[in-house]
Amino acid sequence: MKIGVLALQGDFAEHITMLKRIGVETAEVRLPKHLDGLDGLIMPGGESTTFGKLAVAYGLIEPIQQFGKSHAIWGTCAGAIFLSKDIGRDQPLLGLMDIKVQRNAFGRQVDSFETDLEIDELMKVTGTEHPYHAVFIRAPIIESVYGNARVLSALEDGRIVAAQEGHLLATSFHPELTDDTRFHEYFISLAS
Amino acid sequence: MESKTGTWTEKKGLAQMLKGGVIMDVVNAEQAKIAEDAGACAVMALERVPADIRADGGVARMSDPDMILKIIDAVSIPVMAKCRIGHFVEAQILESIGVDYIDESEVLTPADEEHHILKHNFKVPFVCGCRNIGEALRRIGEGAAMIRTKGEAGTGDVVEAVRHARSVIGSIKHLQVMDDEELMTFAKNNGAPYELVKEVKTLGRMPVVNFAAGGVATPADAALMMQLGVDGVFVGSGIFKSGDPAKRAAAIVKSVTHYQDASILAEVSKNLGEAMVGRNAAHMPESEKLAVRGW
């Protein structure tokens, strides 16, 4: 099992650290050739506009779209934005997932927050019972899911913060900033 | 489910999202848009870039909140703004208007020549400059959630940025081979909080994200700082004091992502037009250096 992490910008090193902790081989992806031999791809937190700019400049959009047809991809925060089909503004996207995302949906940095989430599927797959502690940073929300995408987790007020479509996964929070490896284990189960 | 805001994880976390990126100084909404379109991961809103602050002299203060708000409205990426060292009321004002990060900066004229802001008192995160590990860990002790090596702002000369980055990263390496018995003396000699010295030894890196700043003017400069081991780069005067800001900005963004790929660095370094007019920083009189501000 070898998982690539998109390393154009953002907290890709934190994802690599988490993957190593659960014994997964990793690679940094900056150019299309770096996708060769990977079993899955994580797109980290960072700035989605920066990802878009660099992905276009180095011809990554189409190769990642192709990769996503047969391999697992997980986007966290900016990565989730990049994975989506619609964000209501003009910037380069992969358009792989049937989700509509709103950027910076909770406000500015002083509004960034941590909270516990009950994510039934995650607990089932990892055989655990305690809630998942999620870190949101200038976070997007998933406004709506359609097509084959479905809600994985929502806040108490109903706003969607995690979604899945087959082997594609989007979270508006940052599992890589915690000590809890369950989300990475869940992703590996999709990539296997 | 209880939500918490303004936590240490949140403050440090935003800086982690900026890693591998370029933070650009901008003085108005148009420049902010150019920076965002070029791929900047954040902008620093200020009235005058450091090169102009140097040239103009006088007292340099926090920027007009209205000007910062216009920049906040113009872009979707995080917006930082500077307050004077020790000027906690400027910081309160910047927090209240919603800036995402405050730079307690030596580029502005210090308001307090003995004390920095107690940054733990704020919900908004702070970045501070440093020349060495002692200064970095004192700032983190006061609550800075991100560090940048100071370099010498407004010169276009990378020599001081290299000096400060080598000093900080060299000290981290030095700590790795020290016995635990030596740490208290290291803390004493460097004026660094003992608990943070211990943490750096355990982690093998800074406890917060560490960018380079002060004198980066070319894609090669930016990649040099990345190869020396920083997490990202601030570019101040280097972009909007150059001949073709949009092109240079995009080239520096690419150079930070592909900092280990010399062929890409060569490609992005082509035909960028005039770099900013430099000023030799190594032989500048101490009285003119901004980096000496900080206690």
pLDDT of residue B282: 84
Coil, strand or helix at B62: coil
- Residue type, position B25, single letter: D
A88–chain B nearest CA distance, Å: 13
B268 CB-contact burial (10 Å; exposed 0-12 / middle 13-18 / buried 19+): buried
Q: What is the tens place of the pLDDT at every residue in A92-143?
A: 999 999 999 999 999 999 999 999 999 999 999 999 999 999 999 999 999 9
B95 touches chain A (CB under 8 A): yes
pLDDT of residue B1: 60
Chain B residues 238-267 with a CB less than 8 Å from chain A: 250, 253-254, 256-258, 261
User: Which CATH number does the domain housing residue A180 bear?
Assistant: 3.40.50.880
pLDDT of residue B265: 98
Domain ranges, residue A82 = 2-191
Q: Does B39 sit within 8 Å of A111, measured CB to CB?
A: no
- Residues from chain B that touch A153, judged by Cβ atoms under 8 A, are none
B19 touches chain A (CB under 8 A): yes
Q: What is the tens place of the pLDDT at every residue in A25-39?
A: 999 999 999 999 999
- Asked whether the ipTM of the predicted complex exceeds the cut of 0.90, the reply is yes
Contacts of B180 (CB under 8 A, 6+ apart): B198, B201
Residues of chain B whose pLDDT is less than 50? none
Kindly state the helix (H) or strand (E) to which residue A86 belongs, with its residue range: strand A84-86
- pTM score, whole prediction: 0.97
How many domains is chain A partitioned into structurally?
A: 1
Average model confidence (pLDDT) across chain A? 97
Closest Cβ–Cβ partner in B5, B9, B20 for A111: B5
pLDDT of residue B54: 86
Rounded mean pLDDT, A157-163: 96
B38 touches chain A (CB under 8 A): yes
CB B281 within 8 A of CB B152: yes
Count of helices and strands (H, E) across chain B: 13, 9
Nearest residue to A191 (alpha-carbon basis) of A99, A79, A47, A67: A67
Closest Cβ–Cβ partner in B5, B13, B123 for A177: B13
A73–chain B nearest CA distance, Å: 19
Chain A: residue whose CA lies nearest to B77? A47
The CA distances from residue B204 to A61, B42, B76, B105, B192, in Å, are: 36, 27, 34, 27, 16
Percent of chain A with pLDDT over 70: 100
| DSSP at B57 | -
